[in-house]
Amino acid sequence: MTSTETPTAGRIGDSPLRPDGTLKVTGEFAYSSDLWHDDMCWGVTLRSPHPHARIHGIDISAALALPGVYAVLTHEDVPGLNRVGLEHLDQPALAEDVVRYQGEAVALVAADHPETARRAAKRIVVDYEVLPALTDPRHALDDDAPHVHPDGNLVRAMKIRRGDPEPTAPVVVALDFEVGMQDQAFLGPESGLAVPDGEGGLDLYVATQWLHVDQQQVCRVLDLTPDRARLHLAGVGGAFGGREDLSIHVHACLLAMHTGKPVKMSYSRDESFFGHVHRHPAWLRYEFGASDTGELIYAKADILFDGGAYASSTTAVVGNGGTLGLGPYNIPSVSVDARGVYTNNPPCGAMRGFGCVQAAFAHEALMDELADRVGVDRVEIRARNGMREGDRNITGQLIDSAAPVAELIEIVRDLPLPADPVGERDIRDLPGGAANSTHGEGVVRGIGYAVTYKNVGFSEGFDDYSTARVRLEMTAGEPVATVQTAAAEVGQGLITVEQQICRTELGVDRVVVSPKDTSVGSGGSTSASRQTYVTGGAVKAACEAVRASVLARAAAQLGARNLRLDGDKIIAENGEVLASLADVLGDDAVDETVEWHHRPTEEIDPETGQGNAHVQYAFSAHRAVVDVDVELGLVKVVALDTAQDVGRAINPDAVVGQIHGGSAQGMGLALMEEIVVTDGKVRNPSFTDYLIPTILDMPPMQVKVLEYADPHAPYGVRGVGEPPTISSGPAVAAAIRAATGKALRRVPVRPEHITL
């Protein structure tokens, strides 16, 4: 996406309009599914109908015989290493002798029309021997469990031990909790276009979250060098973690290289549910020990994540679940075990909130239970136990910037509550809405609170960096900055942030953002709430390098020192304008590329789990108010209010937008969002039966944004995107518990959990 928009304002702290905003609202934005190339053909994927089966043979002859079919490919046609994976190379790009989940890719077809390709795929005969499927992760590590992969079913086990190994406490509360499988439910299905260059290479246009890691994976499978596999970001219709793993990438490239033709692939909605990883379902067993007045003394947690058939980012999700899984509380003695296992269920990986979402339901439910047991207010108990700057968390890491847990939870408590209902109500304001299931009968109001913290950026020693190239030149008498990064814009507003930083650092109004592609160094992943921090940091650093270069040039030309640059003027220490930028630059451009790394993190100790695992922590709190029809189990969220520390709001409107969206996604998990899997098979791969909140389900929000700058981060920013997804769901669940008096130890809370 290129933008040359030149608003009068638009520096840091302003909220300039995003270049894609109007286009998206009016339906004119070009998403990856809109890609088109003359002479292109269409690719489709044949997927396994079985959660676990041996493949004895694949007969493609009938498919190849269909007129209009250009190619039918299997694993035998993979030129490079037939393995993909973000953290473990454990997944074949195309299945070999075994399929390990329903939906695993087995063969590819390219044809002149998508319908021809689909029909051809149906003619492929795969000789499957159905094998017993391991579908209950709670038995994945049993001695007699079948092995999903040759090395067994454990992806990662981590432990954290701190303080007294055998703690006791006067008050002990415990619970088991279960979290269902949530989907990212992005609206733009996986899609892309691979265009061969006729010289042994290709260009892939694709909706993704990290171009460079995709490029590595494409090159490995296709046996190409990076200069021959150039990736370009196509219009992304939402990501939320679901585009970190590959979807069409390798498949479209294989077909394009094989046919010599441009190949487009675009999943249907139902295929999309099989074409990306989901949020890990989790089983959590927690125990908190506390004083008679509710001060936490110890915590024990056992967390099991179902990784499904392939590892994806399970390793890092376990890391997050373990290191962050007790919430933003000071707890002297801690014992945490977190495990991720293989099963024959759908593969699970990254999704907004990444390992913290599941844990937050458990620790927040338990904090409420503790509060009730010791007779302390539910807000007060969080404020009393909440972290503050200068505390150490359960891995022993110093919290060295703001940690306003008490302030956040007290802010949401003190926000105005919705009025109590009086008189006859519009049914659309009641649980069930226009479905007319109540006129007020059975409706009980409940209020719930939750608070969370989340790491920002990649953790546990990962060298997490971004690259920015900034060029400054005179164009038609005006200074113009061009910023190039490969950081993916997936809807979060990075284009605008990059422009704002350039305007602020260089004082220019006109900032062009180059298309996102692999012709510049890696921008890292658009995930972990990290791009404004890391790519923002890289753009800032590149601007500083450009400025230094311009001023060095000016100093040499003018024989002056201590100059500064403001817009198109070179200004002396005393404020005198010494020269224009045009004078200094002439027809030259100053062009600087910077690779910027955030401060390092470290691997945690394998026995104690101690270490500086994370680069930054972000905190948020929610208060939910719900009306529950306790007879029918239907819920209407009346209010969902939040407070969050964002360090520094680069673009305040975009910050609030992230908080709105994240809150809705967290609420969705509490109330309705679940991929239902039975015996390894997905039962609801559609938006008819995988329900996400509509505008009638999502209440208006009061959002209170705090800006306690993090001294270690560029401009003091703190990642924004994920915390609201973590604290909103537990607040909604708590509010439903308050209204119903039910324990509700599983989300999504289904109506029958309330009524039966």
Site residues, another protein (CB under 8 A) = 118, 268, 270, 428, 431-439, 441-442, 631-634, 636, 671-672, 676, 683-684, 688-689, 691, 693-697, 750-752, 755-756
Hey, what are 748's tokens?
């999504």
Structure tokens, 689: 């039966």
Cα separation of 691 and 697, whole Å?
11
Least distance to another protein, CB of residue 632, Å: 6
- The distance of closest approach from Cβ of residue 729 to another protein in the complex, given in angstroms and rounded to an integer, is 15
Query: How far is the C-alpha of 672 from the C-alpha of 183, rounded, in Å?
Result: 11
Q: Which residue has the tokens 């490239």?
A: 253
Residue 618, SS3 per DSSP: strand
| Closest CB 444 distance from another protein, rounded Å | 15
Return the structure tokens found at 638. 């009346």
Cα–Cα distance measured from residue 654 to residue 289, given in angstroms and rounded to the nearest whole number: 40
- Whose Cβ is closer to another protein: residue 270's or residue 478's? 270
> Are 204 and 212 a contacting pair, CB within 8 Å?
no
Count of other CB atoms within 10 angstroms of residue 283: 20
Cα→Cα distances 163→167, 185, 332, 556, 604, Å:
8, 41, 6, 61, 16
Cα angle 432-438-443, degrees, rounded to a multiple of 5: 90
* Least distance in angstroms from the C-beta of 70 to another protein: 22
Residue 149: CB minimum distance to another protein, A? 29
Q: Where does 313-413 show beta strands of DSSP type E?
A: 333-342, 348-349
Smallest gap from Cβ 80 to another protein, in A, equals: 34
Pairing of strands 296-308, 191-196: unpaired
- Minimum CB separation of residue 100 from another protein in Å reads 23
Q: What single-letter DSSP state applies at residue 305?
A: E
Minimum CB distance to another protein, residue 271 (Å):
11
Pairing verdict, β 191-196 and 263-266: antiparallel
Least distance CB 138 / another protein (angstroms): 22
Smallest distance, another protein to C-beta of residue 749, A: 10
CA 388 to chain centre: 26
In angstroms, what CA-CA distances link 716 with 21, 567, 706, 711?
26, 24, 12, 6
CB of 540 to another protein, least distance (A): 43
Rounded-to-integer distance, Cα 6 and Cα 17, Å: 10
How is residue 489 annotated by DSSP?
-
Residue 209 CB-half CA count within 13 A: 24
The phi-psi region of residue 475 (left if phi > 0; otherwise alpha if psi is between -120 and 50; otherwise beta) is beta
The residue among 691 and 709 lying less far from another protein, judged by its C-beta, is 691
State the Cα–Cα distance between residues 399 and 393, nearest whole angstrom. 7
Contact 735, 626 (CB under 8 A): yes
Alpha helices in 493-530 (DSSP H): 494-506
Query: Please, what is the minimum distance in Å from the beta carbon of residue 178 to another protein?
Result: 17
CA atoms within 13 A on the CB side of 130: 8
Q: How many residues does the chain have?
A: 756
* List of residues 6+ apart from 220 with CB closer than 8 A: 80, 81, 83, 84, 89
Instruction: Compare residues 340 and 633 and give the one whose CB is closer to another protein.
Output: 633
Q: Rank residues 62 and 398 by Cβ distance to another protein and give the closer one.
A: 62
The CB-of-438 to another protein minimum distance in angstroms stands at 7
Q: Answer whether 720's CB lies under 8 Å from 618's CB.
A: yes
